[in-house]
A and B are shown apart, each in its own frame.
Chain A
């Protein structure tokens, strides 16, 4: 359907506008009377053709626009469909292919902003009319613009050395590009390094992870900085400048070979400080190495516990013990500045603090453990060398595993942490294998979607692990019957048989969920990305751009984006690496030409704009006595434009006249004004 109309003129500009409204199947057409909008727009000045079409973003939809541009000599295109964040580029490309500068195109969002959020067809149509009218007025003032290409620095920064960061680093390094891998802890490996076995294959986590860790260490294309943190990030896609702080280990990394003679020589003969890697279940000395396969194999000092740092009166036996003279107690932080083109954030997650759900008795009863503690306990290189024992030193005869601790809980986190069901099954298997105990799983729903996952669940049921469906009400040591004496009783409603049960056990495992790291907000601010409501890093699009962010050149992978298991983290890491490599291989990226510029002949040199630019893109030219904007540094926020007191700065795509005309169009000429509508006054 089409309607045509003669030319219109605003301030002497005579455009030939083509307007296209998309049905988006029923997504728009069900709530907006597209034909009515199409006819309304056809009557507006400047509009040469107005059409409605089922799917504008489809090839035939785009071809419709291209054909009209050629045949009707259109020089402005307005498409009313979905959000410009989704398809602006699609239509710009289509317009460009037809020979028109893509910036004569403007998009009206009548899906996310209208049809999906309105429940009254008349009102939705009126709103669509107003938005369309505003766009028609706006394009009168559009101009031909050139996009700017910026080169991509091929070096990549990866933040976080867990499995996701490791995998991404190796993928990129293997492609021949240089990677800076920055890890906050003294070693890479992340959570995965703490695990004994992985589900559902039960292969040894260390066996599959440590070779990758040493590849990272030895890869010529990877600069590994552990015990380091990103302090500052500046720049933009292709050209990020990053400042990194390397915290002092008080050991010269290049000299240390990890012989651990110094640890043996420490004047503390016995280890007496909680070992972080083992979740505090074992002790370490003030000089230590996190775990045997730590990468790099370099010891470090904990200045909080080392006598010499506290009193300066230690005999320093460690220094004497090191024949490579690797110990330097005067070491200071080292600051590095690197330039990279892209960044992958793989900063991981943290586990839910079980103390926040007091009904489960964590830290109250010594035999209540978190799943991460059990991971260490069942681990052959863990604090008990793989022996599962109660705090009293007995082999447990019965163990209860409580699912969804901190997950699917209105009082904690609403989300499902996705991994707990599977790792609980794995732990059930391992505990049973190590102790022969009766193992009970208390679950709300068993969630085992994944290759081989459901089969693993079946296997466990055949192994005789008990499954009780119901959310555990509490863990208590208050015995009601003799069998409960000296045990922990799990009180739960078994919803399958509809009775409240009390199950006495020797040991309780809390399957704690995954949550964002405490400093996720600081990290996202530093990298200028967003977080979703729950605090995980927000992807650009949940389906179509799952590892991209709203900041070009910054990608996300692994647990920092949301709860996920190892296979998914690795897959995401691979995807993020591919996204980074695709930018690197393109060599350059086109930037939105929405930069600001100062019209020199109008500028009075008042300097008001100069302090406003966060990128120092504005400077004062002492020769001309005018301000100038370095277009390469301008990121197009428009703050200086709004603040220029003499109106001498213009921002491409967001010029004053364009916005004023949009305001005008929204308010004045819409065919059906909102107040003209009859609304039942209830």
Chain B
């Protein structure tokens, strides 16, 4: 029995996932139907094709507080729309370079090919990613930016204080 005193907060990563309708989203449904249990940290947004994933979505997710972003598409050659997944792959390769320069670890952004029948893989990938991101710790961009922006709030207050009498 764990000692209740020893309860402490464990970092639970927040991961936003973009799953394509035809392969990975269907696989996630299959994982559900098969009652496979996996980490609850991933929240899925359904899109029709991984080709719809605009790199802006990934950056926005990070900027809004995601600790990780997972993109799931059909295996190469299997795209319901022929080649949308290749287009995502190409963007992903360059986006990873951009993220690296901007200090976001590779493991935080992941592109996986999961076909409709791979319910198991949904579980494995999600558990693996959650564990890796958990080890990296929180990314917390909103908190970090608001901490940095504190430096300009001080002066704002100061100027306002100084100038209030002039107004009166």
Q: Do A and B touch directly, given a CB cutoff of 8 Å in the complex?
A: yes
For chain B, the bracket of interface size reads 35 or more
Instruction: Check: B53 CB closer than 8 A to any chain A CB.
Output: yes
Pick from A525, A532, A639, A656: contact of B84, CB below 8 A: A639
- Measured CA separation A612–B91 after assembly (Å): 13
Contact: B29 with A651, CB < 8 Å? no
Given A83-B32, A112-B33, A663-B61, the answer on whether A124 and B40 have CB atoms closer than 8 Å is yes
Which of chain A's residues have a CB closer than 8 A to the CB of B96? Answer: none
Which of chain B's residues have a CB closer than 8 A to the CB of A681? Answer: 2, 6-8, 10
Contact: B118 with A134, CB < 8 Å? no
Contact: B80 with A638, CB < 8 Å? no
Per the 8 Å Cβ criterion, residues 503-549 of A in contact with B are 525, 528, 530-533, 538
Contact: B57 with A663, CB < 8 Å? yes
Contact: A642 with B10, CB < 8 Å? no
Pick from A530, A635, A666, A674: contact of B16, CB below 8 A: A666
Contact: A638 with B66, CB < 8 Å? no
Pick from A112, A612, A643: contact of B32, CB below 8 A: A112
- Measured CA separation A109–B31 after assembly (Å): 13
Instruction: Check: A40 CB closer than 8 A to any chain B CB.
Output: no
- Measured CA separation A643–B57 after assembly (Å): 12
Instruction: Check: B72 CB closer than 8 A to any chain A CB.
Output: no
Instruction: Check: B160 CB closer than 8 A to any chain A CB.
Output: no
Chain B's closest residue to A675 (CB) is B12
Instruction: Check: A268 CB closer than 8 A to any chain B CB.
Output: no
Pick from A85, A127, A654: contact of B48, CB below 8 A: A654
Interface residue stretch chosen among A51-59, A115-123, A478-486: A115-123
Contact: A639 with B80, CB < 8 Å? no
Instruction: Check: A659 CB closer than 8 A to any chain B CB.
Output: yes
- Measured CA separation A551–B23 after assembly (Å): 12
Pick from A117, A131, A667, A674: contact of B38, CB below 8 A: A117
Instruction: Check: A215 CB closer than 8 A to any chain B CB.
Output: no
Which of chain B's residues have a CB closer than 8 A to the CB of A83? Answer: 29, 32
Contact: A678 with B9, CB < 8 Å? yes
Instruction: Check: B113 CB closer than 8 A to any chain A CB.
Output: no
For chain A, the bracket of interface size reads 35 or more
Shortest CB–CB separation between residue B10 and chain A, in angstroms? 4
- Measured CA separation A642–B65 after assembly (Å): 22
Contact: A643 with B87, CB < 8 Å? yes
Pick from B6, B11, B33, B52: contact of A675, CB below 8 A: B11
Instruction: Check: A13 CB closer than 8 A to any chain B CB.
Output: no
Pick from B26, B35, B78: contact of A117, CB below 8 A: B35
Given A113-B44, A118-B40, A638-B47, the answer on whether A550 and B82 have CB atoms closer than 8 Å is no
Contact: B116 with A637, CB < 8 Å? no
Shortest CB–CB separation between residue A532 and chain B, in angstroms? 4
Shortest CB–CB separation between residue B136 and chain A, in angstroms? 14
Which of chain A's residues have a CB closer than 8 A to the CB of B16? Answer: 663, 666-667
Pick from B43, B82, B116, B117: contact of A666, CB below 8 A: B43
Pick from B23, B57, B78, B117: contact of A660, CB below 8 A: B57
Mark A643-682 against chain B: 1 for CB-CB distance below 8 A, else 0.
1000000010010100110111011100001110111111
Contact: B8 with A638, CB < 8 Å? no
- Measured CA separation A35–B49 after assembly (Å): 34
Shortest CB–CB separation between residue A537 and chain B, in angstroms? 11
Per the 8 Å Cβ criterion, residues 12-51 of B in contact with A are 12-14, 16, 21-23, 25-26, 28-29, 31-33, 35-38, 40-41, 43-49, 51
- Measured CA separation A83–B30 after assembly (Å): 10
Contact: A663 with B64, CB < 8 Å? yes
Instruction: Check: A84 CB closer than 8 A to any chain B CB.
Output: yes
Given A85-B29, A117-B32, A667-B64, the answer on whether A530 and B116 have CB atoms closer than 8 Å is yes
Instruction: Check: A641 CB closer than 8 A to any chain B CB.
Output: yes
Contact: B54 with A112, CB < 8 Å? no
Instruction: Check: A614 CB closer than 8 A to any chain B CB.
Output: yes
Contact: B78 with A525, CB < 8 Å? yes
Instruction: Check: B124 CB closer than 8 A to any chain A CB.
Output: no
Contact: A639 with B32, CB < 8 Å? no
Contact: A84 with B46, CB < 8 Å? yes
Contact: B51 with A668, CB < 8 Å? no
Instruction: Check: A581 CB closer than 8 A to any chain B CB.
Output: no
Pick from A614, A659, A680: contact of B81, CB below 8 A: A614
Contact: A675 with B31, CB < 8 Å? no
Chain B's closest residue to A653 (CB) is B48
Contact: B37 with A134, CB < 8 Å? no
Mark A123-158 against chain B: 1 for CB-CB distance below 8 A, else 0.
110110011001000000000000000000000000
Which of chain A's residues have a CB closer than 8 A to the CB of B118? Answer: 533
Contact: B23 with A113, CB < 8 Å? no
Chain A's closest residue to B3 (CB) is A680
Contact: B8 with A637, CB < 8 Å? no
Shortest CB–CB separation between residue A13 and chain B, in angstroms? 20
Pick from B46, B52, B66: contact of A637, CB below 8 A: B52
Given A639-B87, A663-B57, the answer on whether A550 and B26 have CB atoms closer than 8 Å is yes
Mark A291-333 against chain B: 1 for CB-CB distance below 8 A, else 0.
0000000000000000000000000000000000000000000
Which of chain B's residues have a CB closer than 8 A to the CB of A550? Answer: 22, 26, 80, 116
Which of chain B's residues have a CB closer than 8 A to the CB of A637? Answer: 48-49, 51-52, 80-81, 84
Chain B's closest residue to A123 (CB) is B40
Contact: B31 with A134, CB < 8 Å? no
- Measured CA separation A84–B84 after assembly (Å): 22
Pick from A116, A130, A531: contact of B33, CB below 8 A: A116
Pick from B43, B44, B51: contact of A639, CB below 8 A: B51
Contact: B52 with A117, CB < 8 Å? no
**B32, B60, B78: which has the most chain A beta carbons within 10 Å?**
B32
Contact: A85 with B81, CB < 8 Å? no
Instruction: Check: A594 CB closer than 8 A to any chain B CB.
Output: yes
Instruction: Check: A593 CB closer than 8 A to any chain B CB.
Output: no
Pick from A112, A127, A667: contact of B31, CB below 8 A: A112
Contact: A663 with B83, CB < 8 Å? no
Pick from A538, A594, A659: contact of B116, CB below 8 A: A538
Contact: A667 with B66, CB < 8 Å? yes
Given A126-B40, A638-B51, the answer on whether A682 and B29 have CB atoms closer than 8 Å is no
- Measured CA separation A651–B57 after assembly (Å): 15
Which of chain B's residues have a CB closer than 8 A to the CB of A679? Answer: 9-10, 12
Instruction: Check: A502 CB closer than 8 A to any chain B CB.
Output: no
Q: Which 6 A-B pairs have the closest CB atoms?
A: A112-B32, A638-B52, A639-B51, A614-B82, A637-B81, A637-B49
Q: Write 10 A-B pairs (CB below 8 A) sorted by A numbering.
A: A83-B29, A109-B46, A113-B28, A117-B32, A127-B43, A525-B77, A538-B116, A637-B49, A659-B45, A679-B12
Residues of A within 8 A of B (CB): 83-85, 109, 111-114, 116-120, 123-124, 126-127, 130-131, 134, 525, 528, 530-533, 538, 550-551, 594, 612, 614, 635-639, 641-643, 651, 654, 656, 659-660, 662-664, 666-668, 673-675, 677-682
Known A638-B84, A642-B53; further 17 A-B contacts with Cβ < 8 A: A112-B28, A113-B29, A117-B32, A531-B115, A550-B80, A550-B116, A594-B48, A614-B81, A637-B81, A638-B48, A642-B52, A642-B91, A654-B47, A660-B60, A674-B13, A678-B7, A681-B10
